[in-house]
Structure 1
């Protein structure tokens, strides 16, 4: 009942924005229950008075970290539409879905307050123009950012322990492999080693990564690339980003 009191006619005249995000594509595939719970927030919006056609789902940030909004197109669109007065309410399962960075969260809160846009999470509906609601939302943002720090520290601690025991295995550049003893060795595949040697010879001759790419394309040569999280190597056209990284 208290939630519905915060929803005014002028809020219902605007659209309801549902923001959905998982931090990685692995979570998108494996954490299906979290995704279902996020989409289920549509029911909360209709219960508060929004028509189904008014609910805009922003889910093109799937697989993107919430540590920064710089590369999240969906979040940038959300902030823009709120600022233009198109949103009556912004919905997210929890603060961490919208932002893990407190600066991004506070920016969204400020714009929502200026545009008189409500915020909804799993716990309830908040009015950013209300001091008490703004205070609670700010604390949630701080806790979300702190949680990310703890997660990173935990992961880093695990990696450092593996390093101390000599068991850590980082992803090696193409052309290097771990042998059975865990030592780094040149890839025994002659096609891989010869192509990489030719790459450096060409780079020394032409003097730039861009010219090296052009030389490879002119000769119809492919460059070895290791598939992510795999020991499988495939040959693809050489790109400028790969040449610069090499």
Structure 2
């Protein structure tokens, strides 16, 4: 049994439980309730708002695993950790329910495997959205007022600024001005963002990152502007000078010309981000060796990382692809024999709702435009469910197998580098790594 833990913290300085505390409490619950479960932690969404799921990459990765049937339950600290938007919450819960995955809140002691748990879950999600809306509206009004008055409206400012009380009012003022101007001067002189990052680390800020430099380049604070207030604070540069600095972003560099077989197919097992491709030259043989690595663990040095050799990856896939395809075919045929109860229930509910709509229209309780709009939505929903019920995965797997003939290894050896890249990207969706950066498996693009 695979159980996922999903922690989230909106801000680095808010008063909610730390990521570590959330993980620890969830782990204790799982060890007590499901002692034999295999625990998977998705902890990449730090300092990210819960109002939208789109920006939470680790959450999306977890939901992909849920939809693929690799997760049996998701354990969270509270329901507002997973969503503060009722629409997102309902959509993700329906995905979980369809995949047979339960959602468990530790602090609220709610388990959606029970009818009471399902009902109370929706109530809590609704309250979380209302709470977020009230807080958001209050914050927007306060921030707009402070910006108009030239007051600090947030606790975070980019490099080169600090918040200081002047006559009892918090203002944004210059900080380390000489250092800040030196960073921009070096960027303009070299036209290299990567070179600037390395230079700043060596001379000023050891943990300086590409993201921090991009924030500096994009921020209007350096010309003294915040939103509609052009005189929010004392500027570093004129608009013309800032445009010259931002022109560095427009420089296009020629590609290296290397073709990487598995670019975009790996995610870092530590931070969940997609890994980047690069090459090195062997000093003895002068051969080019290609690798995948996490940019944030390599160039940015934000966590430990290891190189994943493309040659070893290719060898692994060549040795394991046939067996994986047979296992997939077996699982699909086994799944095809199971009754699709959830889909049948959804279909019956949608048909009943359409019948009720027809009844209301016949009684004259709704007008024609409203009837046509709702009828169209329900018809589309019914057609979609019918299509899913009739979708034969066995046929799909047979179609997929046509891309991999019995003598595929012999044909593969005859392909050039570009042809090999297209082959892997056509059949492989993602390759999985453990925290030691060892390949543990892969999924097909079906």
> Structure 2: how far apart are the matches of 1:109 and 1:62?
22
Out of 138-147 and 110-119, give the one that drifted further. 138-147
Specify the alignment match of 1:59 in structure 2. 43
> Structure 2: how far apart are the matches of 1:153 and 1:49?
41
The answer as to whether partners of 1:216 and 1:222 remain within 8 angstroms in 2 is no
Specify the alignment match of 2:427 in structure 1. none
> Structure 1: how far apart are the matches of 2:138 and 2:101?
36
> Structure 1: how far apart are the matches of 2:40 and 2:190?
45
> Structure 2: how far apart are the matches of 1:33 and 1:179?
29
1:118 maps onto 2:102 in alignment: yes
1:217 maps onto 2:203 in alignment: no
Q: Give the paired residue count.
A: 204
Specify the alignment match of 1:48 in structure 2. 33
Counterparts of 1:18-167 in structure 2 under 5 Å? 18-27=5-14, 31-32=16-17, 35-51=20-36, 54-121=38-105, 122=107, 123-127=109-113, 133-159=117-143, 166=149
> Structure 2: how far apart are the matches of 1:185 and 1:22?
26
C-alpha root-mean-square deviation of aligned residues, in Å?
Answer: 4.4
Q: Which has the larger radius of gyration?
A: 2
> Structure 2: how far apart are the matches of 1:185 and 1:80?
43
Compute the displacement of 1:107 (Å).
2.1
> Structure 2: how far apart are the matches of 1:92 and 1:69?
15
Question: 1:36-75 deviations in whole A, cap 9, x for unaligned?
Answer: 25521222223323425x0112222122211212221221
Compute the displacement of 1:168 (Å).
2.8
Of structures 1 and 2, the one scoring higher in RCO (CA 8 A, sep 6+) is: 1
186 and 70 in structure 1: CA distance in 2 versus 1, 3 angstrom threshold: closer
The answer as to whether partners of 1:102 and 1:145 remain within 8 angstroms in 2 is yes
SS of the residue 1:127 aligns to: coil
Question: 1:9-49 deviations in whole A, cap 9, x for unaligned?
Answer: xxxxx30111111111223xx65578525521222223323
Q: Which runs of 5+ in 1 are unaligned?
A: 1-13, 200-211, 224-232
* TM-score normalised by length of structure 1: 0.61
Compute the displacement of 1:153 (Å).
2.3
Q: Which runs of 5+ in 2 are unaligned?
A: 198-203, 220-241, 243-446
* TM-score normalised by length of structure 2: 0.37
Compute the displacement of 1:81 (Å).
0.9
SS of the residue 2:4 aligns to: strand
Out of 102-111 and 83-92, give the one that drifted further. 102-111
